[in-house]
Structure 1
Amino acid sequence: LETCSHAQQLALSEQAGFAGVTEVNGDICQWHRLIDFQPPGGPADIGLMHFETPERLLEDGLDGSYHEIWQRLPESQGRNWGIWLRAAEQPARQACLLVAGDYFLFAAERPILLPASTGYLRDQLAAVSPALRPQLLACELSFGRHRNGATPWQITHSTLPGRVGDALLSSYWNFADPTSLPTADLAALGRYPAAGGWQRVELDVPTVSQEVPA
C-alpha cells in the first residue's frame, strides 16, 4: 500500500468485503457487518434467500436492487469452524479466521478504525493526508486454500494485493483442530498484526434486530 500511486489507492478503495454475523428469520437473512472494508453506517444488509437446490442459493435484495446466485464449491465441504479475535491493546479492532473445507478466510479490521459514514471509503481517502491513506486501506480480507496442510496456507485473493502468494500459516498446523493453533502464530496473523497480538474472544452477537417489511 505504501508504494501505490494515488490512482492505485483510489482503485483499491472501491473494493468491498466484510465479516460478521448472519441472522436468519425464516427466508430473510440479515448480515451484521462487524468488520467491513467500506465505512460502517450504510443501509442494513438484508436479503430474501431461497435454496433452488442443496448446492445452489438465490439471494434477492428486499428493495429489489440486486439478484445473486451462489453455488457451493465442492472443496468447501467438510470441516468448518471460525475463530474470533481482538487486538490485545485495541479491543475495538477485530479479526477472524474461518475454515470451510479446503478454503480459509482471514479478515482483520484496519489499525485506524473508520468513523461511521453513509459515504464510501474513497471519500474518506480524499480527505486525509497522503501519509494516512495506506492505513485507511489496510483492512485485510485474505482468501485461499490450505490443501490439508500439505503446503502452507497460500493466499490466492486479498484486498491487499501484495499478500497474494503469501502463506497465512505454516503447513505444519492441523487445520481440523482450531484449538491446536499455536498462540504465537495466532497473535501474528495478517499483514498488519495487532501491536500486542491477537487474542481469542467470544463473538459479540448483536442483540437488536433490524425490522424488515413483512
Structure 2
Amino acid sequence: MTGDAYEWVRVIDYQPAQNLADAGFLHWQNTTLIETGRDLPYTEHWNRKKGFTSSIPLHLQLEDRTNGCRAAFLMVGRDFMFARERTVSIPPGMTLHEAVSQASNEEHARQLVDCEISFGSIAEAGGPLLIHNSTLPWKTGTLFQFDLSGETIVTIPDIAPNGKNLTRRWHRVHTEGNC
C-alpha cells in the first residue's frame, strides 16, 4: 500500500512491465469491492462468487532450477489458477506484440508467448482439475495434472512451445495450505 492506494506487484505477468504502477483505490459499495485507478483511468467491480464458501487455500510458489523460471499454483474452494512465466525476457520498453513481431525466428516468437496463466475448477471433491481459460489456447478444456507426492519436487506434464510433450520439474519454494 502506497498512501491510500494499493499497488499490485506482478511476479508473473503475461504482458511486459509498464512504466506506470498498477495502483488503485479500494472501497466497498454494499457487497461489491470497487477499484479505481490511481495512475490510469479504470474502474473494476469485484464480486464474490455465488455459493462461495471460505476454505483454506492451497498456494505453491515453484521454481525450475535449470532455467530459473517461476510458477505459482493457487486453489481456493473449487477454483484454481496456475501461472508460469516465460523462459525468455521481453526487451524493456516493448509490448508483447512488438517483441513477437520483431522476433528473430519462429522458435523465438513461440518462446515469447509461452507464458501460461490458466484458470479452472474441480467438479467434485477428489475429482480432476479442468482448465476453463488459458493464455495457451490448446490448454482450454484440458485437465491440469500435477504430482505433489515429492516433498520438494512437483512434476507437471506439459507441452513445449514446439508442440512436443515434456514433464516440468518444479522445486517448491513456498507452500501454504494443505497439499
2:102 aligns to what? 127
- Paired position in structure 2 for 1:45: 22
Aligned with 1:151 (options 127, 134, 140): 127
Residue 4 (structure 1) aligns with? none
Q: What does residue 42 of structure 2 align with?
A: 66
CA distances 1:122-143 after superposition (whole Å, capped 9, x unpaired): 0001111223111111100010
- C-alpha displacement of 1:152: 1.1
Q: Deviations over 1:69-111 (max 9, x none)?
A: 11111354322231111112122x1100001211000000112
2:81 counterpart residue number: 105
Q: CA separation in 2, counterparts of 1:166 and 1:42?
A: 36
**Superposition TM-score, scaled by structure 1 size:** 0.69
**C-alpha displacement of 1:150:** 4.3
Aligned equivalent of 1:141: 117
Task: Give the direction of change, closer, same or farther, for the CA distance of 1:40–1:191 in structure 2 (3 Å limit).
Answer: farther
1:201 to 152, 169, 173: 173
Residue ranges of structure 1 left out of the alignment (5+ in a row): 1-23, 174-180, 204-214
Q: What residue ranges of structure 2 are gaps of 5+ in the alignment?
A: none
Distance 2:76 2:94 in 1: 32
Q: Distance in 1 between matches of 2:23 and 2:166?
A: 31
- Summarize the Cα distance change of 1:112–1:64 in structure 2 as closer, same or farther, 3 Å threshold: closer
1:82 to 31, 34, 59: 59
Say what the alpha-carbon RMSD is for the aligned residues.
2.7
The C-alpha deviation readout for 1:137-189, integer Å capped at 9, x for no partner, is: 1100010001343431000000000001111127xx8xxxxxxx323982225
Q: What is the letter of the counterpart of residue 169 of structure 2?
A: G
Q: Percent identity over the alignment?
A: 29
